[in-house]
Structure 1
Amino acid sequence: MLNTHYLKVCNLTLKGIVLASCLLFNACAFTPETVVKQPMTAKPTAVTPVKSNNGAIFNVAAYHPLFEDRRPRYVGDTVTINIIENTNTTKNFESNGSKDGKAANSITSLFGHNVPAASFSGSSSNSVKEKEDAKSSNVFNGSITVTVIDVLPNGNLSVSGEKQISFDRGTEFVRFSGVVSPDSITVGNFVPSNKVADARIEYRTNTKVDAASIAALVARFFLSMGAL
């Protein structure tokens, strides 16, 4: 009877812990902080249509330069950023130090009385050696299409954008912002990330822990306690 009651209590406790853990982990799923401190997109400004003069040979409303391509140049236009970031850092530090000391002394009298000659000597030696090696490597490859949110006075384009990819257990966030020179835009409106000024590139994730995984972890915990 006691064992049955003990099993019921353990079962209720297990269910309570699983439920509380699920609520806790679901509450922890939030949009991660961003280093991009500007709008993610911008709508193009409304352009007042030019009244066409159908009686003239030159139609202002239909004018388009003969050699002009479709490169982004206005707020709301889009450009694709090819992210090709590869950073390697290496740090080496080495320090050596040594110190030697010697002392010698002799005593011929003690409290006004002559004593046989006595001598004392001592020596010490200390050495210190430190060595530190640190290495870091980061690779980030991908692509993201961003929006022109501002046209600077010199013609450069301030761009920004975000891409979200959702999976079973959370959402991945890819964010990008920077300043693009129109001369860096290649055919197809592509720009490599290493030619973007003031670039801010980030990849973050918002992961939710599956309830089944929590239940399995808690069950293993109680099984390990039962073995004791």
Structure 2
Amino acid sequence: MKHAVTPLLLAAALLTGCATPYPTPQVELSHTPVVNLPHLPQPAAANGAIYQAAAYRPLFEDHRARLVGDTLTINITERVSASQTSTSELSKSGTLAAGVTALPLVAGNSFGRASAEATSANDNKGKGSNQNTNEFTGAITAIVTGVLPNGHLMISGEKQIGVNRNVDVLRFSGQVDPRSIGQGNAVSSTAVANVRIEQRGRGATADAHAVGWLSRFFLNIAPS
């Protein structure tokens, strides 16, 4: 009886695995905020003065990010274009002629037709061109994660949007000079140093654009 039940259990397990629905990607809400803020020092004892250096904010200018935990808007306007053209040409020709007129102990008239001629020619031409254009536009609000000794701000931000069983993830990080921050507490991505931008998707749409494991296996064996 045990031998008859075991195949049934295996068949049920296989059917259960095949019937498992496609996992739905979820927006990661448990990691908000995405930036781990450093440990804030204990505030100094109040000395009765109105001016406090640790929390100083100018009264007569727009609010701009300058302290750890502040936010600023990044306007992503990245455009990279590259082109390359190469042309090569090679031409080579040669002629060879040889003959035998006499040998020791052999009559001279025996070599009347002993001659050899050879001609070679080589012509090679090549031409190639390569062009690549990438464009990325958008906006994201980032958090100041650190302040360098020269006053530059280290920023990092992440945005996740889930629509119709698909999740789009946008991550941005870099280094900002406070003098580049414009009105509205915004800065262009072209003014940010050491930019890292990542835009990825999770779900059926992203999986459709991925290369399967079997295709990757054959690409590793014969990439071209």
> Is the TM-score greater than 0.5?
yes
Match of 2:112 among 111, 114, 117: 117
1:82 aligned residue:
75
192-201 vs 115-124, greater mean Cα deviation: 115-124
Letter in 1 for 2:106: H
Matched, 1:197 2:193: yes
Deviation string 1:14-69 (CA, Å, 9 cap, x unpaired) is x96x937x66x649x799xxxxxxx942447366275374xxxx645798543243
Secondary structure class of the residue paired with 1:194: helix
Q: What is aligned with 2:46?
A: 51
**Superposition map of 1:1-228 within 5 A:** 19=18, 26=23, 40-43=34-37, 45=40, 48=43, 51=46, 53=48, 59-60=50-51, 65-109=58-102, 112-114=105-107, 115-118=110-113, 119-208=115-204
Unaligned runs of 5+ in 2: 1-10, 28-32, 207-224
TM-score normalised by length of structure 2: 0.69
Structure 1 gap segments, 5+ residues each: 1-11, 32-38, 211-228
Deviations 1:141-166 (A, max 9, x none): 00000000000000000001111111
Q: Report the number of matched residues.
A: 182
SS in 1 for 2:18: helix
Instruction: Output the CA distance in 1 between the equivalents of 2:50 and 2:111.
Output: 124
CA distance in 2, matches of 1:152, 1:180: 10
Conservation of the 8 A alpha-carbon contact between 1:26 and 1:209: no
- Please report the TM-score for the alignment, with normalisation by the length of structure 1: 0.68
Identity of aligned residues (%): 38
- Indicate the RMSD between aligned Cα atoms, in angstroms: 3.4
What one-letter code is carried by the residue in structure 1 that aligns with 2:91? S
Aligned AA for 1:41? V
Q: Residue 116 of structure 1: CA displacement? A: 3.6
**C-alpha distance 178-110 of structure 1, shift in aligned 2 (>3 A):** same
